[in-house]
Amino acid sequence: MIYRYDFDVIAQWIAPGERVLDLGCGDGSLLRHLMDARQVHGYGVENAPENLLACVKNGVNVIQIDMEKGLAGFEDGFFDHVIMSLSLQAIHNTVGILAEMLRVGREAVVSFPNFGYWRHRQSILNGRMPVSESLPHQWFNTPNVRFFTIADFDALCADNGIAVRERLAFDEGTLILEEPNFLASVAVYRLGRN
């Protein structure tokens, strides 16, 4: 299991015993962490068979659905937190899924790679698409379909009545307080409804 520094940030925002939904939960590592550290009632959502299998092996509740089609079976306000960790950039229906997260959850927690990170900008200036720790794929095999910056995401939230309750930004694990859109490779948001 690889260490993911956004897990610790997310765990800080989760109270013990909460109901948590993790969208695009991968092998279930975050949920496993939250179950062990916060005793959450956790459910993951995945659509990739290999990830589903990994979750079952990890003893994590996982539900196979295609998130692009929304979260129709989930009840309004059922979860305390709905998490999407480093998956938003791989979803086509960005606004739709954010609305669904805030429908079924009291708050949403979203982390994503910042396309505006200075190394990414430098790469583009040098004429090549960025490849980094937070954007590890080549342009031709990336699962990512949306490329956006922290500033872009702030604007999207403002336009859609989504309240940014907290935002932490990191440069490969180090907290960034100044100029995050330039200096941070990953951002983690805590979102609510306005």
Binding site for other proteins (CB under 8 A): 19, 41, 43, 49, 52-53, 55-57, 59-65, 73-75, 78
**Closest distance of CB 54 from other proteins, Å:** 9
- When the beta carbons of 15 and 124 are compared against other proteins, the nearer one is 15
| Shortest CB 56 distance to other proteins, Å | 4
CB of 59 to other proteins, least distance (A): 5
Instruction: For residue 87, give the nearest of 105, 109, 72 by alpha carbon.
Output: 109
Is-contact 6 85, C-beta < 8 A? Answer: yes
Closest-CA residue to 32 (of 61, 63, 6): 61
CB of 72 to other proteins, least distance (A): 9
**Smallest gap from residue 189 Cβ to other proteins (A):** 25
Smaller CB separation from other proteins, 12 or 64: 64
Angstrom distance (rounded) from CA 178 to CA 174? 12
Q: Which is nearer to other proteins, 40 or 162 (CB)?
A: 40
Instruction: Output 53 or 155, the one with its CB closest to other proteins.
Output: 53
- Give the nearer residue to other proteins in terms of CB position, either 56 or 124: 56
**What is the three-class DSSP state of 15?**
coil
Chain centre to alpha carbon of residue 143? 14
CA–CA distances in Å: residue 102 to residues 96, 109, 128, 131: 10, 10, 36, 31
- Using CA atoms, how far apart are residues 121 and 155, in angstroms rounded to an integer? 20
